Amino acid sequence: MATRKRSIRDEDDLKRRAFAGYWRYARAGQPRASLDEAKATVVEVGGKLYVTLTSGKVQVAVFRVRNDGQLKRLVRVPAELKQEE
Domain extents in the chain: 8-27+35-75
Looking at residue 22, its pLDDT comes to 85
Residue 48 CA to residue 25 CA, distance in Å, equals 23
| DSSP-derived secondary structure letter, 83 | P
| DSSP-derived secondary structure letter, 27 | P
pLDDT in tens, the chain (85 residues): 445 567 888 999 999 999 888 887 776 666 566 666 558 899 999 899 999 998 877 888 899 999 999 999 999 999 999 876 4
Looking at residue 66, its pLDDT comes to 95
Displacement of CA 64 from its chain's centroid (Å): 7
Displacement of CA 10 from its chain's centroid (Å): 14
Looking at residue 6, its pLDDT comes to 72
Looking at residue 1, its pLDDT comes to 42
